[in-house]
Amino acid sequence: MKKVGVLALQGDFAAHQAALERAGAQAVLVREAGQLSNLDGLVIPGGESTTMLKLLHYDNLMEPLAQFAREKPVFGTCAGAILLARHVSNPAQESLGIMDIDVERNAYGRQLESRVAVIEPEPEFRALTGPEALEAVFIRAPIIRRTGPKTRVMARYGDAPVLVEENQYMVATFHPELTADSRVHSLFLRKL
């Protein structure tokens, strides 16, 4: 069984742990660098990216995470997507810069702080995981404003990409761990 870490400094890491286990992986909560050494992949959950950044520095995890991502698959959701992006705006903040995407934080505005949308995934996603629509929970979500030449868009909401992958990396601006559908986590587990 594949062993996946869930960064557990802040945010909804417990829901990711449960979702990964539903999808058939062993999921362990990661709080220090030493735990990264025997993992097949890592999930960075949603939460508050500014707080997560502070804790990553405080716990000396920035460099170990960047090092881990050079070799292993990483999946970031919402705040996790913000941490993986190359450039972050609204306001600008530091990130790990692992994926060739730019994101704008809290970009759906206040009236749309949180919503559940039904989205039709792109053919690439459906080919891998089945034809059903995807329920996407957005909570003060970022918008992906730019994707790089190697980024594949797996689902969109309106015009904006909301699930994208690039090499061994994947990000979602919504929260797949909050619905019973484990196809998004399964998609990530295929990279391990």
Q: Which is nearer to ligand GLN, 56 or 79 (CB)?
A: 79
The residues annotated as belonging to the active site are 78, 175, 177
Q: How many residues bind ligand GLN (CB under 6 A)?
A: 11
Contact call for residue 82 and ligand GLN (CB under 6 A): yes
Q: What CA–CA distance (Å, rounded) separates 11 from 39?
A: 20
Contact call for residue 140 and ligand GLN (CB under 6 A): yes
Shortest spacing between CB 81 and ligand GLN, in angstroms: 8
What residues have CB less than 8 Å from 52, skipping those under 6 apart?
A: 7, 9, 10, 11, 44, 79, 83
Q: Identify the residue among 21, 40, 48, 135 touching ligand GLN (CB under 6 A).
A: 48
Shortest spacing between CB 83 and ligand GLN, in angstroms: 8
Contact call for residue 164 and ligand GLN (CB under 6 A): no
